[in-house]
Amino acid sequence: MSERITNPPRSAIVVGAGIVGLSAAWFLQERGVDVHVVDRGGVAAGASWGNAGWVAPGLAIPLNEPSVVRYGLKSLVNPSAPLHVPATFDPKLWSFLLRFAANSRWSTWTRAVRANLPLNEECIEAYGVLTANGVDAPVIDAPITAAFRTPQQAETLLRELRRMADAGQPVDHAALEGARLAEQVPLASAALQAGVRIDGQRYVDPGGFVHALGKEVMARGATVYAFEATGLREEKGKITVSSSYGTSVSADAVVLATGAWLPRLASRLGVRVPVQAGRGYSFTVPVDRPVPGPIYLPDVRVACTPYQGALRVAGTMEFRDPDAPGVPARVEAIIDSARPLLDGVRWDERTDVWVGGRPVTPDGRPLVGATARQGVYVAGGHGMWGLTHGPVTGRLLAEQITTGKQPAALHEFDPLR
């Protein structure tokens, strides 16, 4: 697909200083583009800081499974459920949920799996490009172990992995029980009797990695402007990004990578696919035993990751406005659900309690590419897998911006679909 540009841009503004935006900035710089970054909160101020830190192509499973709709309906009467839909009158939210429900069928899910294949195949390699070229942050190779109360519960994930393989995404894994499970998850309580080890995955300190990436982008000449972008206008052959207070910066091209806030500007640019904040919560807790790798508790939708000598615990999917205050009961619900499953965790000593919005689309596919306005692009809507797919997304989008041709890997993510 060709775009309406005749010359590669010499300058670009990236709006959003999370993993997706900064990756786009870095790869644009690699292609000789002068880049500046705009973010209202600074580097890694949103979902890029507080997530579980998984670089996990083997678990980048689209959210829009048919079972999710049934589960979501039950959550309406259970405010402590891992998937929470507030029972409030919000026309935009309910419009999104209706579209999500319409897309929660196996044919649409399979399409999303196949669309993600190129991102999954190249995401770890894209991290390697960054760390080999100045981004000073470790990417740790470790399996992710999913742990269950019973082998029957484990079979649910095993079926999902078989369905992924049938759609073209084979995932190396092994079933675990007894001593093999205890070896992979030393914190497992007696309640956990079965597991599935997902091999070939990675994890990072997400805030540390994104700050290191931002530092390298700035070392290459970028300035990070701290203001909220509220407007776009063409001015003297340039595109100007401005704030409501009159602050502005101009360039030849603009990338909107604002996560859960993407619709605030993208909806004016012909992007009709809605993006809803699926808010997650996380916190850090001390542990009594070393944790060799990430732990996934699928039954309660909780992800745990070794983090600065402790354990980062992340969970819940709460469909709510991204700027709404956090709900302490959601943190308590995570603890109540995970406490019986893990021993040696000092839950009452938690720190770094955080809430942030993950950008969810109704069809399980992100929005990456050109908008209806020449020179303006979007990159977002990755749901829970923004950290996994951020660098490879930035690399592919930088190729599109500088060549004027849409890479085949981005065809299914066209923002104007």
List the CATH number of the domain containing 148: 3.50.50.60
pLDDT of the residue at 79: 65
pLDDT of the residue at 341: 98
Q: Give the integer Cα–Cα distance in Å for 364 and 381.
A: 8
pLDDT of the residue at 26: 98
Sign of CA dihedral 63, 183, 52, 340: positive
Q: Between 252 and 65, name the one with better pLDDT.
A: 252
- Residue 249, helix vs strand vs coil: strand
pLDDT tier for residue 46 given thresholds of 50, 70 and 90: confident
Q: Is the pLDDT of residue 6 over 80?
A: no
Which range has the top average pLDDT, 74-78, 156-160, 232-236? 156-160
Q: Which residues contact 179 (CB under 8 A, 6 or more apart)?
A: none
pLDDT tier for residue 2 given thresholds of 50, 70 and 90: very low
What average pLDDT does the chain have?
93
Q: Please report whether residue 315 resides in a domain.
A: yes
Q: Please report whether residue 103 resides in a domain.
A: yes
pLDDT of the residue at 1: 42
Residue among 286, 255, 261 nearest 274 (CA): 261
The domain total for the chain is: 1
Residue among 219, 318, 237, 218 nearest 276 (CA): 318
Q: Is the pLDDT of residue 71 over 70?
A: no
Bridge partner list, 405: 2
Q: Which residues contact 98 (CB under 8 A, 6 or more apart)?
A: none
Which helix (H) or strand (E) segment holds residue 155: the answer is: helix 151-166
**Which two structure tokens, joined as six digits, stand for 131?**
């760390």
pLDDT of the residue at 27: 98
Cβ neighbourhood burial of 261 (10 Å; 0-12, 13-18, 19+): buried
Q: Please report whether residue 3 resides in a domain.
A: no
Q: Is the pLDDT of residue 44 over 80?
A: no
Q: What is the pTM of this model?
A: 0.93
State pLDDT tens for residues 53-62. Answer: 999 999 999 9
Q: Please report whether residue 2 resides in a domain.
A: no
- Helices assigned H by DSSP within 168-276: 178-184, 206-219, 263-266
For residue 123, give Cα distances in angstroms to 25, 43, 157, 178, 255: 17, 21, 22, 33, 20
pLDDT of the residue at 77: 57
Residue among 260, 304, 302 nearest 54 (CA): 304
Q: Is the pLDDT of residue 47 over 80?
A: no
Q: Is the pLDDT of residue 73 over 80?
A: no
Q: Is the pLDDT of residue 157 over 90?
A: yes
Q: Please report whether residue 40 resides in a domain.
A: yes
Q: Please report whether residue 339 resides in a domain.
A: yes
pLDDT tier for residue 336 given thresholds of 50, 70 and 90: very high
Q: What percent of the chain has pLDDT over 70?
A: 95
**Which two structure tokens, joined as six digits, stand for 390?**
């951020």
pLDDT tier for residue 90 given thresholds of 50, 70 and 90: confident
pLDDT of the residue at 65: 87
∠ CA 355-257-108 to the nearest 5 degrees? Answer: 85
Q: Give the integer Cα–Cα distance in Å for 294 and 246.
A: 45
pLDDT of the residue at 74: 61
Determine the structural domain holding residue 308 and report its residue range. Answer: 11-413
Q: Give the integer Cα–Cα distance in Å for 332 and 84.
A: 14
pLDDT tier for residue 151 given thresholds of 50, 70 and 90: very high
CB 388 within 8 A of CB 57: yes
Q: Is the pLDDT of residue 381 over 60?
A: yes
Q: Give the integer Cα–Cα distance in Å for 378 and 14.
A: 10
Tell me what the mean pLDDT of segment 218-233 comes to: 95
From its phi and psi, is residue 344 left (phi > 0), alpha (psi between -120 and 50) or beta? left
Q: Give the integer Cα–Cα distance in Å for 15 and 23.
A: 12
- Residue 180, helix vs strand vs coil: helix
Q: Please report whether residue 4 resides in a domain.
A: no
Q: Is the pLDDT of residue 173 over 50?
A: yes
Tell me what the mean pLDDT of segment 81-104 comes to: 84
Q: Is the pLDDT of residue 78 over 70?
A: no
Q: Is the pLDDT of residue 339 over 80?
A: yes
Tell me what the mean pLDDT of segment 129-141 comes to: 97
The two most distant CA atoms of the chain are separated, in Å, by 68
3-state helix, strand, coil in the chain (%, to 5): 40, 25, 35
- Residue 393, helix vs strand vs coil: helix
Sign of CA dihedral 66, 71, 73, 79: negative
Q: Please report whether residue 269 resides in a domain.
A: yes
